Amino acid sequence: MEYKEFLKETLLSNGYGIYSRILAIYREQMEFLKTPALFRKWLAKELDVAPEAINLSSLNSALHQQRKKNKQVKKEQPASVMNPANNSTSKKEGFQFSKPSSDDEKRSRIKEM
């Protein structure tokens, strides 16, 4: 059984998580068509089902979750990619020792009364 038949059967039986799986497989088409309504029309032809069989609300919800996940991944990625020293594995927290050259900095902050 190929993907199309599997997706069609699962979609018609309203299987759990089918819309996120559909978006994972047809991500490029969804990005090209931009709107869930257009994607729904295309998907109906692709899977040979009636457009009414595809729940637009569930499709939109799955799309929203996928975009949220992608946005979160993009937020986390640049910090470690841009500055490898910022990576959580190499980042050390705790007491920071002063440097010999930082003596001037400290004296400028000390005020005598």
The 10s digit of each residue's pLDDT in 98-112 is: 666 655 555 666 666
The 10s digit of each residue's pLDDT in 6-55 is: 888 888 888 888 888 888 888 888 888 888 889 999 999 999 999 999 98
Domain definitions of the chain by residue range: 3-81
Q: How big is the chain, counted in residues?
A: 113
Task: Please say if the pLDDT value at position 60 is more than 80.
Answer: yes
CB neighbours of residue 26 within 10 Å: 19
Burial of 58 (0-12, 13-18, 19+ CB in 10 A): middle
pTM of the predicted model as reported, rounded to 2 decimal places: 0.58
